[in-house]
A = this chain, B = another copy of it.
Amino acid sequence: MFDLTEKIRFAVVGCGRMGTRRIRTIKENKNAELVCICDSIKDIGQALSNQLECEYLADYRKVVTRRDVDCIVVSLPNKFHCETTVSALANHKHVLCEKPLARTPQEATRMVEAATKSSAYLKVGSNLRYFLNVQKARELVDRGAIGNLLFTRGWIGHSGGKQTGTWFLDPDLAGGGTFLDNGSHILDLTRWFLGEVSECIGVVATAYWPIAPLEDIGLGIFRTLEGKLAFVQSSWFEWADYMYMELYGSEGYLRIDNRNPLCQLTLGDREGAKEVFDYSLLASQSYGLELEDFIQAIREGKQPVPSGYDGMRVVQMAFGVYESSKSSRSVGLFEQEGESSSGAMRGLR
């Protein structure tokens, strides 16, 4: 465990939109120190390192072996998550890897295996868990405010277009479209609230943007090991972005509403809405809370949550829907890796 007076030393690999956001958050955290940054584009990396007064390295392999780095944030395009993370973990560096954890379930599995062998921890990015209304929902669910959870439905998305010309639209770099990209968040929240999933059916399609073979809409229906159902949807023509999710329990419901410009949580009982928690005017604190959570876990020698395993499950959930969309059948999500569902997803009728 760490001496609590020492700062956790960070390196950030990948200085795009997410990377710079992580960098800013590290600089603002009094328990964290930014040691170096890494980006394959030298001009960007160099300029940024000057500004940040930290070291710049072009090659991530030089980062993962540094003695003065404890943690590595992997903010690269999805394609590079696996190699970088595995390498960092092999060098016993803690890793915070952006979501989705990987381009494929196979890559995700390799990363989780690397974490198992490492003395360091792997945490997957899951910013929505740290939204103030999501945190409040978690607290209310935990104290039984809506009884036993029965069902969730949620969607996420944005108006697309802004990815034009980015790696998000390159199938090799991204590994999937909106359902893997944005959907990951709702998939993660679904599993976090409802429990482990066992199978799914779903459909993905390219309905609006000319980005095939990537999908711009995806819909999945999931069943948990306990038989609970969930609906997850994601799209790149969700004009009223960003996120909306409802949790139904035996005694009431919760409505998480992050449709621009809202950040609210509504608590209802069996008669309807009763209380609204409004965070719309507060500055988002999610990145700060996420980093702090990582740092605390490291200091206490505990596995950070969501873990690499959680991230892997999310990738498997997304690929379950991809497979279901191709096969027109339900897909098992709790078998040996790669094995297809036999019992399938059967209704109770």
Contacts and interface: CB of A to CB of B under 8 A. Distances in A.
Interface of A: 150-151, 153, 155, 159, 201-208, 212-213, 215, 217, 219, 221, 223, 227-229, 231, 233, 235, 237-241, 248, 250, 252-253, 255, 259-261, 266, 268-282, 322, 324-326, 328-330, 341, 344-349
Nearest to A155: B153
A155 B221 CA distance: 14
Contacts of A276: 275-276, 278
A67 to B, nearest CB: 44
Contact of A349 (B153, B215, B329): B215
A344 to B, nearest CB: 3
When all copies of this chain in the complex are counted, the total is 4
A227 B259 CA distance: 27
Contact of A261 (B213, B269, B281): B281
Given A207-B228, A231-B233, 20 more contacts: A150-B208, A150-B217, A153-B155, A203-B347, A204-B347, A205-B347, A207-B227, A207-B229, A213-B348, A219-B229, A221-B221, A235-B248, A239-B252, A272-B280, A273-B281, A274-B278, A276-B276, A276-B278, A325-B346, A325-B348
B223 A203 contact: yes
A217 to B, nearest CB: 6
A344 B328 CA distance: 6
Nearest to A231: B219
Contacts of A207: 150-151, 227-229
A229 B253 contact: no
